[in-house]
Amino acid sequence: MARRLRILIAHQPHHVVHRGHRQRPVFECLDDYQAYLNDLQTYRVSLGVALHAWCLMPNHVHLLLTPQDDPRTVSVLMQRIAQRATRRWNWRRDVAGSLWEARFKSRVIDTEQYLLACCRYIELNPVRAGLTGCATEYRWSSYSARMGTVSDEYLDLHDLYLAMGSDHQTRRKEYGKWCSNRPGPDVSEEIAV
């Protein structure tokens, strides 16, 4: 049976999820997380893909990406960073095989309401999973960067986020309020991949 075609659209945000093979961890040490982020930054910049939110969980990754004119850059980006992560993993452990479960999954985020809801969904993932009690305490998510507690070198602020206030402080305050109003199951189902 043929694989279902992935829908990718230029200039539209995409919620991308890539899971570890058999739900095993893909990040086991700080170096794994940092190397993935470094690769993500390198390739997204070279391919012209905006990164609006991200979260690296122990066994999967959530990204909110917007390709420019060529939507295939999302696939190229994901292929390159997955290959690099797999090579590092296999080299360190002297094994062979896939680190990732099949292909990444993606969903086009097509409404203003869902873009911010998707950011919240991605950035609060560690809280929902019980890895931390507070999103700002989780190092491997864009939430801390968005809230100004760490560098935001990996983050491209979307116009809808920027519209939340006229300055950084106001936007952060409004986004913090937005995140404290957790979505109901209907919104989570719409943005989950």
Domain topology for 14-191: Alpha-Beta Plaits (3.30.70)
pLDDT at res. 105: 94
pLDDT at res. 171: 95
Rounded to whole angstroms, how far apart are CA atoms 147 and 20?
28
pLDDT at res. 186: 46
Per-domain boundaries in the chain: 14-191
pLDDT tens for each residue of 103-136: 899 999 976 778 999 999 999 999 999 999 999 9
Rounded to whole angstroms, how far apart are CA atoms 100 and 98?
6
pLDDT at res. 157: 93
Q: Are 107 and 118 in contact (CB under 8 A)?
A: no
pLDDT tens for each residue of 145-186: 999 888 778 899 999 999 999 999 999 999 999 888 765 444
Cα of first residue to Cα of last residue in the chain, in angstroms, is: 22
pLDDT tens for each residue of 10-46: 999 999 999 998 888 999 899 999 999 999 999 999 9
**Regarding beta strands 105-108 and 60-66, do their DSSP bridges make them parallel or antiparallel, or are they unpaired?**
unpaired
Alpha helix ranges (H) inside the chain: 30-47, 73-93, 112-123, 125-128, 143-146, 159-162, 168-180, 185-191
pLDDT at res. 178: 87
Rounded to whole angstroms, how far apart are CA atoms 67 and 1?
29
Edge-to-edge order in the sheet of strand 14-19: 50-57, 60-66, 14-19, 105-108
Q: How far is CA 165 from the centre of its chain?
A: 23
Rounded to whole angstroms, how far apart are CA atoms 36 and 103?
17
- Give whole-number Cα distances, 85 to 90, 95, 105, 157, in Å: 9, 13, 17, 26
Residue 80, burial from CB neighbour count under 10 angstroms (0-12, 13-18, 19+): middle
Q: Are 68 and 11 in contact (CB under 8 A)?
A: yes
pLDDT at res. 3: 65
Which pTM value belongs to this model? 0.91
Contacts of 133 (CB under 8 A, 6+ apart): 127
